[in-house]
């Protein structure tokens, strides 16, 4: 039981870290699109917007996965407290 909770906790933390990194990178790509520059090609702008949206979407999915692991941990904790009483 203890090993399972440790595993779930580590997975939750990992997914949250990955999501945070992807969110930061996605924001930097988005800033590269909105900051004006005369040498930007429209194709480059489209690629950067696509990459930014992709990173942000994957970040949201990772945050959701982290929340799922957190809910599983809370459920295990509740079951453990219920069984010990």
Count of residues making up the chain: 85
Q: Where are the domains of the chain?
A: 1-83
pLDDT at 63: 97
Could you tell me the pTM of the whole model?
0.84
Top pLDDT among 52 and 82 is at 52
Kindly report the average pLDDT of the chain as a whole number: 90
Answer whether residue 6 shows pLDDT above 80.
yes
The tens digit of pLDDT for each residue in 42-74 reads 888 889 899 999 999 999 999 999 999 999 999
pLDDT of residue 65: 97
- For residue 9, the number of C-alpha atoms closer than 13 Å in the C-beta half-sphere is 9
Q: Give the H or E element holding residue 49.
A: helix 42-84
């Amino acid at each position: 039981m203890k090993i399972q909770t440790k595993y779930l906790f580590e997975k939750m933390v990992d997914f949250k870290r990955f999501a945070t990194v992807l969110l930061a990178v996605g924001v930097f790509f988005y800033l590269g699109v909105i900051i004006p520059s005369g040498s930007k090609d429209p194709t480059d702008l489209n690629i950067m917007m696509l990459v930014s949206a992709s990173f942000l979407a994957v970040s949201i999915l990772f945050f959701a996965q982290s929340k799922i692991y957190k809910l599983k941990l809370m459920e295990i904790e509740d079951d453990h407290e219920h069984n010990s009483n």
